[in-house]
Structure 1
Amino acid sequence: MRCVSRLGAAMGVTASLGLGLTGQAMAAEGMWMPQQLPQIAKDLKQAGLQLDPAKLTQLTEFPMGAVISLGGCTASFVSPQGLVVTNHHCAYDSIQYNSTVQRDLLKNGFLAAGLTDELPASPGSRVFVTVDVSDVTAKVVDTKAQRLNGKARFDAIEANEKALTAACEKDPGHRCNVASFYGGLQYQLIKQIEIRDVRLVHAPALGVGLFGGDTDNWMWPRHTGDYSFFRAYVGPDGKPADFSPANKPYQARHFLKLATQPLNEGDFVMVTGYPGRTNRHRLPAELDFTFGWAQPQRIQWMGEQLALIKEATAGRREAEIALAPRVAGIGNYYKNFQGQQASYEGSDILARKSQAFAELKAWVNADADRRASYGTDISKVEGLLAQEQAVARAEALLRYTSPGMLNAARTLYENAQQQALPDAQRKPGFQARDEKHLVQGLEAIDKRYDERVDKRLAAHFLTQYLAQPAVQLNAPLLAALGLAAGMDEAAIQARLDTVYAGSKLAHGADRMAWLKRDVASFKASDDSFIKAAVALYDDDQARETRDKDITGQISQAYAATMRALIAFKASKGEAVYPDANSTLRVAFGQVQGRKNALDGVDWEAFTTLRGIVAKHKGEGEFNAPAEQLAAIRARQFGPYGVAKLDSVPVNFLATLDTTGGNSGSPVLNDRAELVGLLFDGTLDSVIDSWDFDARKSRSICLDARYMLWQMSAVDKAQRLLKEMGAQ
């Protein structure tokens, strides 16, 4: 399943490759900003789009006005009553949050009988509806910021961004953010309606929504019903409001309609969504560091986390439910990174990137004006990246060693420090605009924390950390937790037992009470994790200042490097688009299988219900519900069967350029009708985040006909089907 992956700030642009949509279908590279689509209108029309491409630039009109963000996943309105469809794995947190051992919605699924039965989504859930986008580059990097460097530049840009968002959010009910494009060359202010009352409406059983589990994740053929439904609610006055029984469904101005014509192989499709991050024009030094050291380390540590959690939750269903979102998230990254690493190792990616960067530098050095404009910064950027990477190597394990409640204590103490400042001077995440999100995040811990697992993980990684040479260790951390270099795991575990026993932060009421306390109260506390957070504060701030200084220097040098790259590409007549950065994008392609695929066989474009029966084992990851199996065996296909397939299509492959954050994105046909939901990619194409390969790139999509069949024949969700116009 797709997820947002950020291994650092992705900076850069990539050239528009030949789209190759005539004859043998190839993946069309490009996650295009809506305002760029007129530039590729000819390609879109040639590929099969029936709409005027200019209509896709209008974010508050159809169809773009129906596409929304969940803050990490994409979704879309599918009825005028605020009904929202997205992936099952995007709703997983909310399904888990409402689950108990007695009412296991994760396992059995959920269907609200009526509006009053719809359940509040997990704390912090949001629906963001984009209403305006404007260029604010000159206001973010103003004349003052241009004269600064390092942390001073970082702080000046951050202050300008905060001022812009504060002015934008004077319009109640909206959330505004400044997004950076082309490595800091361009900034946009994005204004969105922030709907805070989000409710879970329907989710299929785990044996449908997560059929195949980790085994099938990133694989083809696939048979996963990765869909769920939310509903957006607003206050009686029609404006965003916190949850209340008096609230009413949001009246969506635009919503997607179900396809009125069958989807076949070769058909045009496009995807609109919020892809999180691509890294296709990272510099060679970054590529080498990521795949040569950082990512192999992450893969190792993720595998250890998964094994430890499995061991520590065995036989404890309550703990399994609590840790389910964490396990799913780690497992998703784990397999994704393994796929990336396998594609990278033995490839010529680094050699090609190095050659391309050498060509850029040669072009810059061939002209005096270009040398004056770009030369110094290009020379500086690699040295600055080396500094950043040295810090990353030294502190990589630190993020794994901090107990969960120590992290909560650090957040609470930082909040107390920030609340003593004027709002405009507070750090992002601790301003008045962030209060609800902060509160809900701390509340959610109650449903997602297990002390036994937390302590086991902390002891395991602290053992590795303390085995390093003493000179490499963070002395304030050791002092705060009462640890010493070279301690074995048993001694660490004993010390942690004492620290955990000395804190009440695991109790929700005690934890939430600290949100109202001042700095003096923290300093006077005997709570062990609060005391540790206070003791670590100065060191945390010093490391943050160091990181901001390096980031400020890198961003300035990187921006000039990207300006050089854009000019270089323009000199060859090549169009460019910015790397994905969680802003609204459009990609297009075709429904298409693949010859001589990863396993050496041809991949068909569609899978069918037959594959569910063939894979079903009655347990574990391949455990389809009995009601579903009965409907399949009885051939109750209804209007969703396809004669050519002699079944109902389940999933399909498409040549769509997508990445993490596209999860839940609506897949639209040539008339912008809903034909499916994007939910994954294939394992050997996850490297596309770094190096696009048109021959291999495929996205895996849920076929809307399978979703509708499951809702009709198995889950009896006729109320929702009628609301969407399916009946």
Structure 2
Amino acid sequence: MWVPTLLQKYNIEEMQQMGFKLTADDIYSVNHASMKDAVVIFGGGCTGEVISPDGLLITNHHCGYSSIQKHSSVEHDYLTDGFWAMNRGEELPNPGLTVKFLVRMDDVTARVLEGVTDSLTESEKQVRINENTAKIEKEATEGTDYTAVVKPLFYGNQYFVYVYEVYKDIRLVGAPPSAIGKFGGDTDNWMWPRHTGDFSVFRIYAGKDNKPAEYSPDNIPYKPKKFFPISMGGVKKGDFTMVFGYPGTTKEYLPSQGVKLIMAQSDPEKVAIRTKKLNILAADMKADRAVRIQYASKYARTSNSWKRWQGEVKGLKRLHAVEKKQEGEKAFTEWLDDSSSRKGKYDSVLTRFGELYAEFAPYQRADDYYSEVVKRGTDIFSLAQKFDRIRRLAEYHETGCLEGAIPEVKEELVSYFKDYHQPTDEKVFSALLAMYAHGLPGKWLPEELTKFTPEKLTKLYQKSVLTDEKALNEMLNDFDNRSVKKLEKDPVMQLYRALRNTYEVKVEPRYRELSDSIKANQKLYMAGLLEMNEGKRMMADANFTLRVAYGKVEGYNPRDGVHYNYYTTLKGIMEKDNPEVYDYDVPDRLKELYQQKDFGSYTNGKGQVTVAFCASNHTTGGNSGSPVVDAEGNLVGVNFDRAWEGTMSDIMFDPDECRNIMLDIRYALFIIDKFAGAGYLLDEMELVN
């Protein structure tokens, strides 16, 4: 995951030796159109790429999933049936959805750290950094409609400012049915071999000046500076590939104690909580089609990290990650011993890690439980958070804020109750709170929770006004002191506030103090590692900024006696077909195309339709939807996942075991043209043989 502005210095020679035929300037330039001008942040956490001169954009199906769901209903079930606009007038607007183009990025380390001296405390240093950052962000956007953000690299030993242009009129053009776009479902998630047609298509619209504009029927398709030509030739074993996108978070430089905490405590405990929730959701979704639609997106979001955490633990154990970290720390200590000045600067850093993590572990457990159960575990607590904010604004007479918040919450109630099933959430509520009470020591539990059995929790839930959409709307229409008192007496609101207050008073302050101390120590350790490796190439951890990853197309050996090929085909979809299992129910139209061998020009050299392929590119969350290009910069795939055996790559990347999983772009074209009958879209693309 390499910084694009540093490719010329550190990477381009190696990339070209691996077969890349372009230059660093072709990837990133502020002086002329380059690949960066065809890559976007899609929504809040994915990547997308422009594939036509008329602003057509492709990303993953799971990235567009929420937008597809919002347009879906029992009458128009686009999740199940798919959706395709047969002309631009049928494209569907998506309020709130944005894409961001990177205008430029600049190293601003010296400016951010101006006035930050060793005489300041850590909190004083952060205040100064925040002041400098705000000034840089303001100056970077003066006189423009751009947005800017300063982000740290190497734990604050380096800083870059990123300037973006944000487009706000993004329309849904097409998405295959979930039986294609989510084929294999949660069963196959994170797994290889894979047969998922994980893509959706949108179009960026702009004002008549090609600049960002709010939605209007008068807007026109965006004219990009650059779009990706699409390769019809596919890939073969050993081919160079490059992924260009926005990886979210990695932790390559954690100390051994940090890796051990993740392996032995944090990941396993979060998995246990989500397992309980997912089992409840799965049973209710299987029993009721309406519930399946309501909870499809929630289930997908919950299961995504749940499966990754399990693979991460297995991978770290297989790599002996803790032992390898300890070996690196031993080498660091030996390097210190060679110099008294180094020893004076860094001598206590590893000892300090041991002390900090020992105290931090129980606080991490409490934070994990609070996050997984109270913050995001149940529907009703998510609603309680919104109404508690309303209550507090009224209590403190924040009239202006209250008047703005009430319409927002009223609007949110519509989507909340659209995707809410009380019996399901009741089960989740009582089950997760029982785990919370059992998992944490009594000193971190409110008295209100310790006296409840699961049965009593269910009854408490049923008495809450938060289950009544009509009553809540009536309350918001005439919000007064009586409304405040009603919320204060509501049993779910009372329990939510008790849990929140206990966490905020007894857990959060020390959790934050220890987190800050660990970060400060990590920054010092990172400075030492940079000094120790001066002049050598070091990868900055991902932080949801534009990065380049490159590798080669290849299969892998997950365990003794097993080898996985580097690509999968339509034949494999037919082999998995099982109408009795939702995840593997192949659409009839796709079966017809297969039986008739109506593949068009979308086949590989063997006459097969390639569905997906894997390679040794280093990717993570945020890379979903990223363009995958060949040696000549043509789009060959869309990144959508990692192989389960390699999910430890966020902490320790191993190119021998870690594989990213990509949709073969020809399968997307095959589905658009042959399956959906929307081949007119291909007319605006540049297809390269």
1:33 aligned residue: 3
2:76 aligned residue: 103
2:14 aligned residue: 43
Instruction: Give 3-state SS (helix, strand or coil) of 1:229's partner.
Output: strand
Superposed CA deviations along residues 387-420 of structure 1, whole A, max 9, x for unmatched, are 3322112343223443534434435655897999
Task: Tell whether 2:572 aligns with 1:600.
Answer: no
- TM-aligned CA deviation for residue 242 of structure 1: 3.0
Aligned partners of 2:517 and 2:261: how far apart in 1? 19
2:366 aligned residue: 394
Q: Is the CA contact 1:234–1:250 (under 8 Å) kept in the aligned structure 2?
A: yes
Q: Is the CA contact 2:103–2:165 (under 8 Å) kept in the aligned structure 1?
A: yes
Q: Is the CA contact 2:271–2:309 (under 8 Å) kept in the aligned structure 1?
A: yes
Task: Tell whether 2:89 aligns with 1:116.
Answer: yes
Q: Is the CA contact 2:22–2:632 (under 8 Å) kept in the aligned structure 1?
A: yes
1:452 aligned residue: 423
List gaps (5 residues or longer) in structure 1: 1-30, 422-429
From 676, 682, 688, the equivalent of 1:715 is 676
Which amino acid in 2 is paired with 1:244?
S
Aligned partners of 1:565 and 1:442: how far apart in 2? 50
TM-score w.r.t. the length of structure 2 is: 0.89
- TM-aligned CA deviation for residue 446 of structure 1: 4.4
Task: Tell whether 2:301 aligns with 1:326.
Answer: no
- TM-aligned CA deviation for residue 547 of structure 1: 4.0
- Over the matched positions of the two proteins, sequence identity in percent amounts to 29
Which amino acid in 1 is paired with 2:229?
K
- TM-aligned CA deviation for residue 635 of structure 1: 1.0
Task: Tell whether 2:616 aligns with 1:625.
Answer: no
From 180, 205, 209, the equivalent of 2:181 is 209
Superposed CA deviations along residues 535-579 of structure 1, whole A, max 9, x for unmatched, are 777656545544443333332221111010111123xx6321201
Task: Tell whether 2:271 aligns with 1:299.
Answer: yes
Q: Is the CA contact 1:504–1:511 (under 8 Å) kept in the aligned structure 2?
A: no
Q: Quickly say closer, same or farther: Cα 1:700–1:56, change in 2 above 3 A.
A: same
- TM-aligned CA deviation for residue 334 of structure 1: 2.0
1:579 aligned residue: 541
Aligned partners of 1:396 and 1:597: how far apart in 2? 30
- TM-aligned CA deviation for residue 603 of structure 1: 2.3
Which amino acid in 1 is paired with 2:450?
A
Residues 644-659 of structure 1 aligned to structure 2 (within 5 Å)? 644-659=605-620
Aligned partners of 1:300 and 1:641: how far apart in 2? 43
- Structure 1 window deviating more from structure 2 (529-538 vs 128-137): it is 529-538
Aligned partners of 2:82 and 2:293: how far apart in 1? 14
Aligned partners of 2:194 and 2:358: how far apart in 1? 41
Residues 16-165 of structure 1 aligned to structure 2 (within 5 Å)? 31-38=1-8, 39-58=10-29, 61-70=33-42, 71-121=44-94, 124-144=96-116, 147-165=119-137
1:724 aligned residue: 685
Number of aligned residue pairs: 674
Instruction: Give 3-state SS (helix, strand or coil) of 2:225's partner.
Output: coil
Q: Quickly say closer, same or farther: Cα 1:125–1:610, change in 2 above 3 A.
A: same
Instruction: Give 3-state SS (helix, strand or coil) of 2:216's partner.
Output: coil
Q: Quickly say closer, same or farther: Cα 1:470–1:64, change in 2 above 3 A.
A: closer
- TM-aligned CA deviation for residue 80 of structure 1: 2.0
Residues 365-376 of structure 1 aligned to structure 2 (within 5 Å)? 365-376=337-348
2:450 aligned residue: 484
Instruction: Give 3-state SS (helix, strand or coil) of 2:230's partner.
Output: coil
Instruction: Give 3-state SS (helix, strand or coil) of 1:179's partner.
Output: strand
RMSD: 3.4
1:567 aligned residue: 531
Q: Is the CA contact 1:313–1:453 (under 8 Å) kept in the aligned structure 2?
A: no
Which amino acid in 2 is paired with 1:37?
L
Instruction: Give 3-state SS (helix, strand or coil) of 2:323's partner.
Output: helix
Aligned partners of 2:165 and 2:265: how far apart in 1? 41
Instruction: Give 3-state SS (helix, strand or coil) of 1:265's partner.
Output: coil
Which amino acid in 2 is paired with 1:577?
M
Superposed CA deviations along residues 65-119 of structure 1, whole A, max 9, x for unmatched, are 1011113111101112221101111111111111111111111110012222112
- TM-aligned CA deviation for residue 461 of structure 1: 1.5
Aligned partners of 2:53 and 2:361: how far apart in 1? 49
Which amino acid in 2 is paired with 1:57?
Y
Which amino acid in 2 is paired with 1:694?
P
- TM-aligned CA deviation for residue 511 of structure 1: 9.1
Q: Is the CA contact 1:505–1:511 (under 8 Å) kept in the aligned structure 2?
A: no
- TM-aligned CA deviation for residue 153 of structure 1: 4.3
1:695 aligned residue: 656
- TM-aligned CA deviation for residue 346 of structure 1: 5.5
Which amino acid in 2 is paired with 1:454?
D
Task: Tell whether 2:223 aligns with 1:251.
Answer: yes
From 606, 611, 616, the equivalent of 2:577 is 616
Q: Quickly say closer, same or farther: Cα 1:626–1:49, change in 2 above 3 A.
A: same
Task: Tell whether 2:520 aligns with 1:556.
Answer: yes
Q: Is the CA contact 1:152–1:549 (under 8 Å) kept in the aligned structure 2?
A: no
Residues 388-427 of structure 1 aligned to structure 2 (within 5 Å)? 388-402=360-374, 403-411=378-386
- TM-aligned CA deviation for residue 721 of structure 1: 1.1
From 637, 650, 662, the equivalent of 2:623 is 662
- TM-aligned CA deviation for residue 258 of structure 1: 1.0
Q: Is the CA contact 1:149–1:552 (under 8 Å) kept in the aligned structure 2?
A: no
Aligned partners of 1:497 and 1:35: how far apart in 2? 56
Q: Quickly say closer, same or farther: Cα 1:85–1:447, change in 2 above 3 A.
A: farther
Which amino acid in 1 is paired with 2:24?
P
From 150, 154, 158, the equivalent of 1:182 is 154
Q: Is the CA contact 1:151–1:553 (under 8 Å) kept in the aligned structure 2?
A: no
- TM-aligned CA deviation for residue 600 of structure 1: 2.9
- TM-aligned CA deviation for residue 56 of structure 1: 1.9
Q: Is the CA contact 1:124–1:441 (under 8 Å) kept in the aligned structure 2?
A: no
Q: Is the CA contact 1:590–1:655 (under 8 Å) kept in the aligned structure 2?
A: yes
From 597, 609, 622, the equivalent of 1:635 is 597
- TM-aligned CA deviation for residue 501 of structure 1: 2.9
Q: Is the CA contact 1:502–1:527 (under 8 Å) kept in the aligned structure 2?
A: no
Instruction: Give 3-state SS (helix, strand or coil) of 1:91's partner.
Output: helix
Task: Tell whether 2:459 aligns with 1:494.
Answer: yes
Instruction: Give 3-state SS (helix, strand or coil) of 2:155's partner.
Output: helix
Which amino acid in 2 is paired with 1:410?
Q
Superposed CA deviations along residues 140-164 of structure 1, whole A, max 9, x for unmatched, are 3442575443555445544544454
Q: Is the CA contact 1:406–1:532 (under 8 Å) kept in the aligned structure 2?
A: no
Aligned partners of 2:144 and 2:616: how far apart in 1? 40
Which amino acid in 1 is paired with 2:100?
F
Aligned partners of 1:577 and 1:526: how far apart in 2? 51
Superposed CA deviations along residues 482-524 of structure 1, whole A, max 9, x for unmatched, are x434x321112112222x236767988579879xx89998589
Instruction: Give 3-state SS (helix, strand or coil) of 1:651's partner.
Output: strand
Aligned partners of 1:441 and 1:689: how far apart in 2? 34
- TM-aligned CA deviation for residue 180 of structure 1: 1.5
Q: Is the CA contact 1:364–1:564 (under 8 Å) kept in the aligned structure 2?
A: no
Which amino acid in 2 is paired with 1:633?
Q
Superposed CA deviations along residues 370-396 of structure 1, whole A, max 9, x for unmatched, are 122222444434423333322112343
Which amino acid in 2 is paired with 1:33?
V
- Structure 1 window deviating more from structure 2 (653-662 vs 152-161): it is 152-161
Which amino acid in 1 is paired with 2:659?
R
Residues 512-527 of structure 1 aligned to structure 2 (within 5 Å)? 526=488
Q: Is the CA contact 2:422–2:467 (under 8 Å) kept in the aligned structure 1?
A: no
